[in-house]
Amino acid sequence: MSLKTSLTCFIALVAFAGSAAADPTTLAKEVRDAEQAFAATMAARDHAAFTRHLAEDAVFFDDKKATRGKAAIAAAWKAFFEGPNPPFSWTPETVEVIDSGTLAHSSGPIFDPKGKRVGTFNSVWRREPDGAWRVVFDKGCNACDCAKASASAAP
C-alpha cells in the first residue's frame, strides 16, 4: 500500500471516528452516565472520585457566591463527604448536548436523605481533550412548591 493510500485511509478513519463520536444520542448517554457516576460518589462517600469529575476551571454556585477552580470546589464540598450517610442525592432527568459535542447540560432533582425532593441541580459538562466529560458549571436551586406559588400569583 502506498503512503498516499495509507494517508487517505487514515484521514477517512479519523473523519468517520469523529462523526461517530458526535452522535447526539451516544453523547447524551455518555453525559448521563457521567452525571450518574458523579452522583454515585456522594452515595459511596468517595470525595476523591467526586473531585475527578471536576474540570480544572470549574465554577460552582451557591446562594451567595461562586466557588472557582477544582481545588477550591473540592475543599468546599469535603464536608458533604464526612460521616457515613450522604446529606443529599441527585439524579439526572434531562441531558442535552450541543451539536459540536463539546458541551452538555444536565438537570434533575436533588433529594434529602429521606427521599424528599428539596431542589433541582443544573450542571454544564465539557468534553475534555482526553474524551472524559467533566463538570464546568454547577448550580442548584431550592424546590419550588408550584401549586403554592401559582395560588399566590393568582389575581
Give the pLDDT confidence of 82-99 residue by residue, as tens digits.
Answer: 999 999 999 999 999 999
Q: Are the CB atoms for 125 and 95 separated by under 8 Å? A: no
pLDDT digits (tens, 9 = 90+) for 4-18: 544 444 444 344 444
Rounded to an integer, the average pLDDT of 24-36 is: 97
**Does residue 103 carry a pLDDT above 50?**
yes
Higher pLDDT, 118 or 4: 118
Q: Which residue has the cell 475534555?
A: 128
Quick one: DSSP state of residue 78? G
Helix, strand, coil fractions of the chain, as percent rounded to 5: 45, 30, 25
Torsion of CA 72, 34, 133, 20, to 10 degrees: 180
**pTM for the structure as a whole:** 0.79
104: its cell numbers: 452538555
pLDDT at residue 147, as a whole number: 53
